[in-house]
Structure 1
Amino acid sequence: MNPSPSTIFGKAWLYCTVFLTGAAVMVIELLGTRLIAPFYGASLYVWTSLIAVTLIALALGYYLGGIWADRARSGLSLIIATAGLLTLIIPWLAGPVLLATDPFGLRLGSFISTLILFSPSLMMLGMVGPFAVKLSTSALANVGASTGSIYAVSTVGSVIGTLFLGFYLFPLIGSREIFMGLGIALLILAMVVAGIERKYLKSTTVMVPTTILMLMGFGLYPQIANSVQTEFSDIFQTRFERESLYGWVRVIDKPKENIRLLTADASTIGAASISHGENLLIYQKIVAQIPFLAPNIEKALLIGQGAGHMVMTLNKAGIVTDTLKIDPAIAEAANQYFRYIPTGQRIIGDARYEIRQLKGSYDLIILDVFTGGTEPTHLLTIEALAQLHGLLADHGILTLNFVSFLDNGQNAALASVSKTLAQVFPYQQVFISDPGENFNDFIFLATNHVINLNDDSIPFSNHTWLKQRLLDIDTTYGAILTDNLSNLELLQIRKSEHYRRMIVDSIGVNHFIR
């Protein structure tokens, strides 16, 4: 009987292999959202698709790996080499796959594209575990301990891979480069394992195909690395591009239309003229009216900085504005290409955490994070609004911008926002950005006191313009949004798909493919 490899040279190489492949699984899963998000957004549906596909692929890998392990003494290197090549070509296939799945819409499109792009490599990595168990088991009596040890080491590898990617690697290197680097690393690991199999298992059958796969990977690497080029044309010009922890931030010019856009993934969060830099977003013009609504507004907090136009508008009224933004790349783009100059404290971080650290009171708080395809729903709950209420002066105003459909006043998402605000603030008024359009920006003003737009003592700069946009919201169709239960993302799925289609039609689908 041939001796087990575990009795010849120990299990160290096997543990090292499952550790590294376990880390690779989590790297692919986490990076998957960064490859999909610029096209479909980083919504709950994208995360759900990726997690589901990962579990499906690993389940198939466990099953097929067990069958292969029972029928062959060697082949672990071939499995890893195949996983490496499939991982390496993911960035290469991303564009064609995303374009092909685009007609299926947000939910089905994100699931199918995720399934095509990531399940092959994840399935091959899932096959490593059962094969390693077979190699590490010298007797039936030891199968439990061997199985437990292999999967424990693999899980530790997944933990280390997650921490290394999130805390160190991803902030320094782009997602495409990490995918390609991981693919090459797996191919090199496969060759090392093939050498071990040849030496100790006397197996030469897998050396040739493993070598071929590695050569194919190294041969394709230059083409994959150069497969994405920044587009410059008479129609679109990409002026700024930065992949951050939270999204793919770009500044895109449309010279013929004299428009400069600030985008984060598939969301437009700022727009200005190229020639003069004036703000082109209509809803933000209402901000210019706010200083007339309450006396002695001196200090404001803006959550969701965008291109910084609202800060500049408030500055003209003598209002100092602290800004709170989760993505530093957006602040960098606003500074360089939209002439944004901070007037107050600039805070980088997640709003729910950072607002707990703030002290003092604000005369005005603007919550402007519900504009794009993906919405941070945790910022629009009773608990989140109560935190903001605690930062607001008695005479202050909370302003919230929300993009949705009017639907003749029967939109459940719009009604839910109004109903939730009413749980925290006794008074609110709602304005529509562009009367006559169903898809719109809706601006909520929530206060502790009544604002009477008919009060002649209020020196509006454009009284009629503001009153024409006043709305009455029927909250019958709405639900109260809480940290425990918020269905806002579900209520806004039609809005997300419509918004994304508008942006794609305006800029072109290729601008959202990494």
Structure 2
Amino acid sequence: MKSNFSASLLNRIWLYCTVFLTGAAVMVVELLGTRLIAPFYGASLYVWTSLISVTLIALALGYYWGGIWADRTRSGLSFIIAAAGFLTLIIPWLTGPVLLATDSLGLRLGSFMSTLILFSPSLIMLGMVGPFAVKLSTSTLASVGASTGSIYAVSTVGSVIGTLFLGFYLFPLIGSREIFIGLGIALFILAMIVAVIERKYLKSTSALAPTTLLVIIGLALYPQIASSGKSESGDAFQTVFERESLYGWVRVIDQPQENMRLLTSDASTIGAASLSHGENLLTYQKIVTMIPALAPSMRNALLIGQGAGHMVATLKEFGIVTDTLEIDPAVAEAASEHFGFIPTGRRIIGDARYEVRQLKGSYDLIILDVFTGGSEPTHLLTVEAIAQLRDLLTDQGILALNFVAFYDNGRNPALASVAKTLTQVFPHQRVFISDPNENFNDFIFLATNHALDLNDDSIPQMQRAWLKDRLLAIDQSNGMILTDNLSNLELLQIRKSETYRRMIVDMVGTRHFIR
């Protein structure tokens, strides 16, 4: 009796350990999947939706097929884990070819198909582990419920621990490619341990040979997989800095022939300068030279979305001290090391919605420059978010917001929604277009509690002419008020996101955005 109890306990322990580790592996694959896809398709809602959907589809198939396999044989769990390890190991190897093959499908379908091809095979195999473990842990029909519940409870706990370990510890220290490779090898080790247990306790040897063969093949491919992510040389563009952070893949890319240096986060350009003199090449930021003329008493500013930091240097010329708020420490590092950024005020690293609540005092100018051509941080453009910024402004303060969109003769609902949302918080606003001759453009909104008179004689003639030539009237009738509860800004900006991404990828080359 005692011998049977000990054998049953040992059987449960190794099964629980197996489902715990494979449950953690599921979440690692799911969470890291975005870090391989985002540099190419952006870290948008559509990428996350694709990955979550593919994960659920793959697990459903894995549960179904795993149950069928378990009913037919008691051996094979080690091979399933080895197959999951092999399919996880080759993900970094396949990323480039798959992303290039799906590029023509567009943002939504392309991100979904690439996610399906890259991650569903390994997730299906990991999903098969649960039903197989249930079958092995069930000794009588009466214990099916308890066995099933305990197996899936332990697997879920593994998923939780895997999520916390990855997000809080592992990912900030190690790149996503390296973690995928390490996870594949870890699953190989687990598979070999399970194969030994199957042979010793289940008296099964049928899975040992194919499991071992799969592990040998995977390890033989390791050198080629490990080197597959290295940048190719001989390109007109040269990567001089790259850092993978929690928020994106930050790179500084030079094009000597065009005398240009770019600062990118995933597939978004957030800074540009000439290589020869370091002057700013982003034309929309010229508005910063005009704003001080609208409020001559301006002394301090807050820049949300630091980028390369050129606007800070411009404001310094007018005697304005600028605090910067940047979510990504890798962007701050790149700006200092490769764009000569020198802060004139406080340098804050963190998410704007949280950090703004911690700020004390008031500003004469707040610049919200986070709505570039890439993903839309929609939580920063709602009535509630704008109201938080308004509360930090002085009575004569100005909120400047840059927004990339299509003009469409003033009928773009995204532009209308931005204008309508600002109207809920500020009684006055002016809108300027960066380049009057282009439909796809940067639009600068100046929102205030007081009217801005562009005919004021105190404004230099050159600034007045520049502003008047670019002044727009936005019809707000087809816009919606964006709130924390409901914001369809990302949906309204799909065409913008796809156009901008195609423009950047065509300019720099697709391989520069493949991790």
Letter in 2 for 1:345: R
CA deviations over 1:122-177 (Å, ceiling 9, x no partner): 00000000000000011110110110000000000000000000000000000000
Alignment CA distance shift 1:151-1:6 (3 Å): farther
Aligned pair 1:499/2:500, yes or no? Answer: yes
Q: Distance in 2 between matches of 1:282 and 1:4?
A: 75
CA deviations over 1:8-49 (Å, ceiling 9, x no partner): 733111100000000000000000000000000000000000
Letter in 1 for 2:28: V
Instruction: State the identity %.
Output: 79
* Partner residue, 2:422: 421
* Partner residue, 1:138: 139
* Partner residue, 1:364: 365
Contact conserved, 2:363 with 2:397, CA < 8 A, in 1?
Answer: yes
Q: Distance in 2 between matches of 1:6 and 1:29?
A: 35
SS in 2 for 1:385: helix
Give the TM-score taking structure 1 as reference length.
Answer: 0.98
SS in 1 for 2:122: helix
* Partner residue, 1:439: 440
Alignment CA distance shift 1:4-1:510 (3 Å): farther
- Larger mean CA deviation between 498-507 and 458-467 belongs to 458-467
C-alpha deviation, 1:94, in angstroms: 0.4
Contact conserved, 2:250 with 2:331, CA < 8 A, in 1?
Answer: yes
SS in 2 for 1:214: helix
Letter in 2 for 1:350: D
Contact conserved, 2:413 with 2:492, CA < 8 A, in 1?
Answer: yes
Contact conserved, 2:383 with 2:424, CA < 8 A, in 1?
Answer: yes
Letter in 2 for 1:481: L
* Partner residue, 2:90: 89
Letter in 1 for 2:260: I
C-alpha deviation, 1:4, in angstroms: 10
C-alpha deviation, 1:234, in angstroms: 5.6
Aligned pair 1:309/2:296, yes or no? Answer: no
C-alpha deviation, 1:465, in angstroms: 1.5
CA deviations over 1:229-283 (Å, ceiling 9, x no partner): 2334361110001000000000000100000000000000000000000000000
SS in 1 for 2:214: helix
SS in 2 for 1:401: strand
Runs of 4+ in 1 over 4 A off after TM superposition: 3-6
* Partner residue, 2:275: 274
Give the TM-score taking structure 2 as reference length.
Answer: 0.98
Aligned pair 1:233/2:234, yes or no? Answer: yes
Q: Distance in 1 between matches of 2:87 and 2:302?
A: 47
C-alpha deviation, 1:460, in angstroms: 5.5
SS in 1 for 2:376: coil
* Partner residue, 2:30: 29
Q: Distance in 2 between matches of 1:220 and 1:349?
A: 40
Letter in 1 for 2:313: M
Q: How does 1:367-406 map to 2 (within 5 A)?
A: 367-406=368-407
* Partner residue, 1:168: 169
* Partner residue, 2:178: 177
Q: Distance in 1 between matches of 2:445 and 2:8?
A: 71
Q: Distance in 2 between matches of 1:382 and 1:137?
A: 55
* Partner residue, 1:430: 431
SS in 2 for 1:477: coil
Q: How does 1:6-17 map to 2 (within 5 A)?
A: 7=8, 9-17=10-18
C-alpha deviation, 1:463, in angstroms: 2.1
Q: Which runs of 5+ in 1 are unaligned?
A: none
Letter in 1 for 2:328: D
Q: Distance in 1 between matches of 2:251 and 2:224?
A: 24
Q: Distance in 2 between matches of 1:364 and 1:391?
A: 9
Q: How does 1:209-220 map to 2 (within 5 A)?
A: 209-220=210-221
SS in 1 for 2:390: helix
Letter in 1 for 2:79: L
Q: Distance in 2 between matches of 1:109 and 1:467?
A: 42
CA deviations over 1:421-471 (Å, ceiling 9, x no partner): 000000000000000110000000000001100111223653211210000
* Partner residue, 2:107: 106
* Partner residue, 1:332: 333
Contact conserved, 1:234 with 1:255, CA < 8 A, in 2?
Answer: no
Letter in 2 for 1:317: F
Q: Distance in 2 between matches of 1:147 and 1:185?
A: 25
Alignment CA distance shift 1:88-1:5 (3 Å): farther
Q: Distance in 2 between matches of 1:265 and 1:208?
A: 43
Q: How does 1:56-75 map to 2 (within 5 A)?
A: 56-75=57-76
Contact conserved, 2:239 with 2:252, CA < 8 A, in 1?
Answer: yes
* Partner residue, 1:157: 158
Q: Distance in 2 between matches of 1:414 and 1:78?
A: 55
Letter in 1 for 2:405: S
* Partner residue, 2:476: 475
Letter in 2 for 1:103: S
Q: Distance in 2 between matches of 1:441 and 1:108?
A: 27
Contact conserved, 1:430 with 1:442, CA < 8 A, in 2?
Answer: yes
SS in 1 for 2:454: coil
Aligned pair 1:452/2:453, yes or no? Answer: yes
SS in 1 for 2:391: helix
C-alpha deviation, 1:6, in angstroms: 5.6
Q: Which runs of 5+ in 2 are unaligned?
A: none
Alignment CA distance shift 1:29-1:328 (3 Å): same
Q: Distance in 2 between matches of 1:373 and 1:406?
A: 17
Q: Distance in 1 between matches of 2:212 and 2:235?
A: 46
Contact conserved, 2:92 with 2:229, CA < 8 A, in 1?
Answer: no
Q: Distance in 1 between matches of 2:6 and 2:68?
A: 20
C-alpha deviation, 1:296, in angstroms: 1.4
Aligned length: 512
Letter in 1 for 2:129: V
Contact conserved, 2:252 with 2:262, CA < 8 A, in 1?
Answer: yes
Aligned pair 1:299/2:300, yes or no? Answer: yes
Q: Distance in 2 between matches of 1:5 and 1:156?
A: 24
C-alpha deviation, 1:295, in angstroms: 3.0
Aligned pair 1:253/2:249, yes or no? Answer: no
Q: Distance in 1 between matches of 2:15 and 2:235?
A: 55
Contact conserved, 2:324 with 2:346, CA < 8 A, in 1?
Answer: yes
Contact conserved, 1:98 with 1:113, CA < 8 A, in 2?
Answer: yes
Letter in 2 for 1:163: L
Aligned pair 1:42/2:43, yes or no? Answer: yes
Letter in 1 for 2:264: T
SS in 2 for 1:84: helix
